[in-house]
C-alpha cells in the first residue's frame, strides 16, 4: 500500500527513529 499524505502528516517524532514504508521500496525515516 503506498504512503499517502495523511499517513505522513500523522507520523509523530518519537525518542527513537522509526520508518514508514510503502511496501515497494520507499521508506520515510521519522
Cα-Cα-Cα-Cα torsion 8, 1, 25, 29, nearest 10 degrees, comes to 20
| pLDDT attached to residue 1 | 80
pLDDT at 5: 93
The percentage of the chain sitting over the pLDDT mark of 90, rounded to a whole number, equals 90
Higher pLDDT, 1 or 24: 24
For residue 16, give its domain range.
1-30
Cα 13–chain centre separation: 10
Q: What's the number of domains the chain is made of?
A: 1
Q: What is the pLDDT of residues 4-20, one digit of tens each?
A: 999 999 999 999 999 99
Amino acid at each position: 500500500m503506498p504512503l499517502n499524505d495523511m499517513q505522513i502528516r500523522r507520523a509523530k517524532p518519537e525518542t527513537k527513529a522509526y520508518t514508514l514504508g510503502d511496501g515497494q521500496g520507499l521508506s520515510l525515516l521519522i
